[in-house]
Structure 1
């Protein structure tokens, strides 16, 4: 047990670093108001600054609650493989689902549309791109041994973070798993949001942000 005084965010982040914490568990509000969005809540600052994996609890419960739906963000992180691995090894209820979400690159579709292709050719190109994204996920799943959960691969288009949050809500997800972002956020990203800022601003459910374990 550690007792510290001072700024809670600084003390928590310092403890994670000095104690070489693998997983930090903390509570968080599901939705921030406008002031908290720009100034940053404790939960948001921890998500931005921690150098370990973080489990943010938005639905605290004294009783054990079975996990029936896990959504995995398979985009925008160097730790996608770790996120999928964590989801596949999470203890879940029978007849549960893991939904792995990946983004359809709209730039590729826009370029295809500008190539003066026919509607049929455009649709073929779209289906090819969808299959390519599905193949990426399936290859990652092959590297995970003893994977027994039911898997749904979902390809979304649009603003990835926003679509991910809405998909998690539609599926009534119990847990959203993401790889840690490749860089830290700044005030600039509050005004021009990074995809994961949509998640941090309006947590659709409990969130696990994964980073690789550190050597002791």
Structure 2
């Protein structure tokens, strides 16, 4: 499985105070990735709305930004998902909500439904900005999964396009892989030996993935591997937060079941409290 660069970027827009910041973020990414931008508004079309969008995006005219606007009334989830399919959008940008009086971001109910059903990659933005904020540090999951190679390649591609300085591949190792009860010095040494072997195994697996990537993606960025032990999804989110990552790149969930809704894991931990901007690779 190989990553295909983004060709069409989608953004659901509302005429809220964040409109300009959202449009600037989406337009910049479209130019960085040399992609077309499709703006989706759930609501009626009017000359005032078109004029407002065009006026904001006039800033990007000298760079020949390629964009179109779709107006359609209906259920927001259905409208955005249908437009994404019709326009072959391969990266959909979604804004996160901020909890009142708290510096914490989460995915709202409509955005969460879109996140669970979208067939394309998703970028969840926690704090869109008119001024470009540099993306210096990217964290990407390195878990053992068929999708991981594509996700790591996508992270390197994005890092190259955004001129990131550092990329950390986090391998989340489940605690049950140690499976040693520590109650004396001997068992502690045994547990540490197992942990070291697991770290070596994970680093070797990840290094093989990196070796196969195009050199143009890997040559100008500092790469680090970081095995961590804990709950998948929660652990990497916490790591991204404490390491002050600018972007967290994750595999898309395989398939949501009823039980996944009751007992959140992996990507659900991330959606509940976003540690930074999150890119989910489909």
Same fold (TM over 0.5): yes
Q: Is the 8 A contact 1:67 1:174 kept in 2?
A: yes
- Is 1:203 matched up with 2:271? no
Corresponding position of 1:189: 260
Of the three residues 95, 108, 114, the one matched with 1:27 is 95
Counterparts of 2:94 and 2:79, CA distance in 1:
14
Counterparts of 2:88 and 2:120, CA distance in 1:
8
Q: Deviations over 1:101-155 (max 9, x none)?
A: 1112322210x559xx754343222211111011111111111121121111111
Q: Structure 1 residue runs of 4+, over 6 Å off? A: none
1:170-185 correspondence to structure 2 within 5 Å: 170-185=242-257
Counterparts of 2:193 and 2:228, CA distance in 1:
17
Counterparts of 2:92 and 2:123, CA distance in 1:
6
Q: Deviations over 1:33-88 (max 9, x none)?
A: xxxx8x96122111101000111111201111211111102237532112111111
Aligned in 2, Cα 1:118/1:65: closer, same or farther, shift over 3 Å?
closer
Counterparts of 1:163 and 1:30, CA distance in 2:
22
Counterparts of 1:12 and 1:77, CA distance in 2:
29
Aligned in 2, Cα 1:172/1:119: closer, same or farther, shift over 3 Å?
closer
Residue 158 of structure 1, CA deviation: 1.4
- Is 1:128 matched up with 2:200? no
Structure 1: gaps spanning 5 or more residues:
212-216
Corresponding position of 2:175: 106
Cα RMSD (Å): 2.5
- Is 1:47 matched up with 2:115? yes
- Is 1:166 matched up with 2:166? no
Which structure has greater strand proportion? 2
- Is 1:152 matched up with 2:227? no
Counterparts of 2:268 and 2:260, CA distance in 1:
8
Aligned in 2, Cα 1:10/1:130: closer, same or farther, shift over 3 Å?
same
TM-score, normalisation: structure 2? 0.65
SS of corresponding position for 2:149? helix
Corresponding position of 1:97: 166
Corresponding position of 2:211: 142
Counterparts of 1:86 and 1:57, CA distance in 2:
17
Counterparts of 2:243 and 2:146, CA distance in 1:
25
Q: Is the 8 A contact 1:30 1:205 kept in 2?
A: no
Structure having the higher Rg: 2
Counterparts of 2:273 and 2:248, CA distance in 1:
12
Counterparts of 2:137 and 2:246, CA distance in 1:
6
Residue 174 of structure 1, CA deviation: 0.9
